[in-house]
Structure 1
Amino acid sequence: MDRAAGLSVRVKLTLSYAGFLMLAGGLLLAAVWVFLLRYVPDRAMLYNPDDQPTNGVFPVRSALLEVFAPRAAAVMAFLLLFGLLGGWILAGRMLAPLTRITDATRTAANGTLSHRIRLSGRKDEFRELADAFDTMLARLESHVAEQQRFAANASHELRTPLAISKALLDVARTDPNNDTRELVDRLHAVNTRAIDLTEALLLLSRAEQRTFTREPVDLSLLAEEATETLLPLAEKHGVTIETRGDIAPTTGSPTLLLQLTTNLVHNAIVHNLPEQGTVWVTTRAHRDTVTLTVENTGETLTPELASTLTEPFRRGTERIHTDHAGVGLGLAIVRTITQAHEGTLTLTPRSEGGVRVMVELAAAPPQASAHRNL
């Protein structure tokens, strides 16, 4: 935004310091003059050397004024110069941290987010501002890097089904005797994967923007709905689902929270043992929070691998069934939805194998729970 040029803050502070000093000096001189007017007589008798009064009268106040006025003017001139010089130096020292913050802001505006102010010294308002700005830059740099990785991975994932479709069509064009039904089936599968990936990206974007209305939600009901929906998939994989727990009222988007629950249960089913696997879905209500926990049997994971499973397009090694690889955004969507609801997502490897995923959200206010029960 273009603004009209004005006085700098340093000049304003300098004039303020000098003006305050002049005001203080003027008040002091005025107090001295009032004192002289009150306690010094207007005229006084003149005495000879023998302490005998003469007929002459000396104007005391007039004489004092003649002596006091020029010296007062000199003092005020000195205070003005001292105030301007001292104010300029003090303002420069006080605004030096602000100059560093401004330079860092301009550097960040040019696209360089790695620069940090790192203001030294004891804690004060400027250092709090500098530390807050450094924290903001660190988060922005991390967010931009994450978005760049996400964009690169998304481009790669979206390009893969398109490249497969192109290859299938090229083969069909060069081989007129190719089975058309098989080609259609393979193209349908590839197209379905591309659609699933696109819908997942849209859902992830919606959750990140937090453009949803908060409503009372019971996580236990969402867990039951997700379990019933995915029961055929669990039976196909030979996985048993056990659902238990308390009524867990919270507030948020019913659609997004159902998607979160469905993703967790789906992930627990497809990343399980080849046969005789188990998934446990548990809800708990605490004083200020509610939790949704999904555990599954499976291969043993390291804490390092478990911590990376929520990153977009990251899939655990040797943990994906060939018949349902997914799009690699299931837990990433869960993490984004949890963050959009100011919640906490925790992934912990189970010692027996598999992983435990817990989502902790704020409990619904009592009035919201009462309204829902009505």
Structure 2
Amino acid sequence: MRRRPGLSVRLKLTLSYTGFLLLAGALVLAAVGYFLLRQGWLQTNSEGAWRATPGTSFVLGFAPTAAAVMLFLLVFGLVGGWFLAGRMLAPVNRITDATRTAANGSLSHRIRLPGRQDEFRELADAFDTMLARLEAHVAEQRRFAANASHELRTPLAISKSLLDVAHSDPTHDPGELVDRLRAVNTRAIDLTEALLLLSRADQQSFTGEHVDLSLLAEEAAETLLPLAEKHGVTLETGGDVTPAVGSPALLLQLTTNLVHNAIVHNLPGTGAVRVGTALRAGTAVLTVENTGEPVAPERVATLTEPFQRGTERVRTDHAGVGLGLAIVKTITHAHGGTLTLTPRAAGGLRITVELPAAAPPRW
């Protein structure tokens, strides 16, 4: 927004300091003059002129002295006020320079304002924290865009190769080509839908409703029971009524993703998945635990990043699109909750989602 030029804050502070100093000086001089009058050392003649009483000739120089004092206060106030205002506004100038640097695209710059804690330091620290989060978010978005471009390009490249083979070899079985194209197309659709869901959850464009996590857990388990039976994985659910506030569709997607991952990333034929819900100190807790191969702690920290499939634990026919836990993380944060992944000593993972519990109904 364009504004008309005005006085700088430093000049305004200088004038304020000077004005206050002159006012204080004038009040002091007025008090001294009033004291002299009260003591009878100064009187006025019939023409209104000041004159000294007998024996008090030393007060004759009061008026010139007062003028000199006021002049001194004026000069001292302007010079001292300008210097003090500059010292006081120095942190603001550093914050302004950092803001301009960030506006030009350099998010790695930090103010790191020295000194003890005060309002300016709090502002600078808050700005540094904002820059750090913004830099991390931008870096994450760039990685996501690069990974998404790569993932979306892969099925398109495969489809082009299949079509080129069919075009160069008319005797090729069309049924096999159609089946492979259908599989590639299905994967591209799943990836696109996952990206759209991730974007919608990240924008928090939903209306909060009362949701029972225990019912969502039962629904997800019932939906994925055939998949668990196919993999030979035992699926168990349990827990108390766990009221939370959020989007029923997104929270169901969160629960379904967790249960699906727990089934697929498991020990085929002998694996187990346990889904539980509980209400703890005003927090709605959803826990999904599965058996499986041991997972290194440093590997766990990367599983919620987009397109991290944990390929060392996944069979190639169920690699997915690599957005399952990324979607879970985004939905959890959009609901003001926390997501915790903990490797089990015996293998597998324990994933805990903590959401703000719904307030009890008022009767």
Q: TM range, normalised to the smaller chain? A: over 0.9
How many residues are treated as equivalent by the alignment?
356
Q: Shift of residue 258 of structure 1?
A: 0.3
Match of 1:67 among 54, 61, 69: 61
Matches for 1:45-64 after TM superposition, within 5 Å: 59-60=51-52
Residue 31 of structure 1 pairs with residue 8 of structure 2: no
1:366 alignment partner, SS class: coil
Tell me if the contact between 1:193 and 1:327 (Cα under 8 Å) persists in the aligned partners.
Answer: yes
Match of 1:307 among 298, 301, 323: 301
| Match in the other structure for 1:187 | 181
Tell me if the contact between 1:37 and 1:61 (Cα under 8 Å) persists in the aligned partners.
Answer: no
| Match in the other structure for 2:195 | 201
Q: Distance in 1 between matches of 2:231 and 2:244?
A: 32
Match of 1:102 among 96, 110, 123: 96
Q: Shift of residue 325 of structure 1?
A: 1.3
Q: Shift of residue 66 of structure 1?
A: 5.4
| Match in the other structure for 1:81 | 75
- CA change 1:60–1:303 in 2 (3 A) is same
Matches for 1:222-237 after TM superposition, within 5 Å: 222-237=216-231
Matches for 1:246-325 after TM superposition, within 5 Å: 246-325=240-319
Tell me if the contact between 2:273 and 2:290 (Cα under 8 Å) persists in the aligned partners.
Answer: yes
Q: Distance in 2 between matches of 1:274 and 1:196?
A: 24
| Match in the other structure for 1:133 | 127
Give per-residue Cα distances to partners, 1:210-231, cap 9 Å, x unaligned.
1110000000000000011111
- CA change 1:332–1:61 in 2 (3 A) is farther
| Match in the other structure for 1:167 | 161
1:328 alignment partner, SS class: coil
| Match in the other structure for 1:49 | none
Tell me if the contact between 2:52 and 2:60 (Cα under 8 Å) persists in the aligned partners.
Answer: no
Q: Shift of residue 41 of structure 1?
A: 5.6
| Match in the other structure for 1:176 | 170
Q: Distance in 2 between matches of 1:213 and 1:309?
A: 28
Q: Distance in 1 between matches of 2:43 and 2:200?
A: 91
Q: Distance in 2 between matches of 1:132 and 1:318?
A: 41
Give per-residue Cα distances to partners, 1:284-327, cap 9 Å, x unaligned.
11121111000111111111111111010012132122222110
Q: Distance in 2 between matches of 1:231 and 1:88?
A: 76
Question: Among the aligned pairs, what percent are the same residue?
Answer: 74
Q: Shift of residue 193 of structure 1?
A: 0.6
Gaps of 5+ in 1: 45-57
Q: Distance in 2 between matches of 1:205 and 1:254?
A: 17
TM-score w.r.t. structure 2 length?
0.95
| Match in the other structure for 1:17 | 17
Q: Shift of residue 240 of structure 1?
A: 1.2
Tell me if the contact between 2:110 and 2:131 (Cα under 8 Å) persists in the aligned partners.
Answer: yes
Q: Distance in 1 between matches of 2:183 and 2:3?
A: 58
Q: Shift of residue 362 of structure 1?
A: 1.1
Structure number with greater Rg is 1
| Match in the other structure for 2:360 | 366
Match of 1:153 among 144, 147, 154: 147
1:112 alignment partner, SS class: coil
1:365 alignment partner, SS class: coil
2:311 alignment partner, SS class: coil
Tell me if the contact between 2:207 and 2:247 (Cα under 8 Å) persists in the aligned partners.
Answer: yes
Q: Shift of residue 42 of structure 1?
A: 5.9
Match of 2:324 among 315, 318, 330: 330
Task: Please provide the CA RMSD for this pair.
Answer: 1.7
1:327 alignment partner, SS class: coil
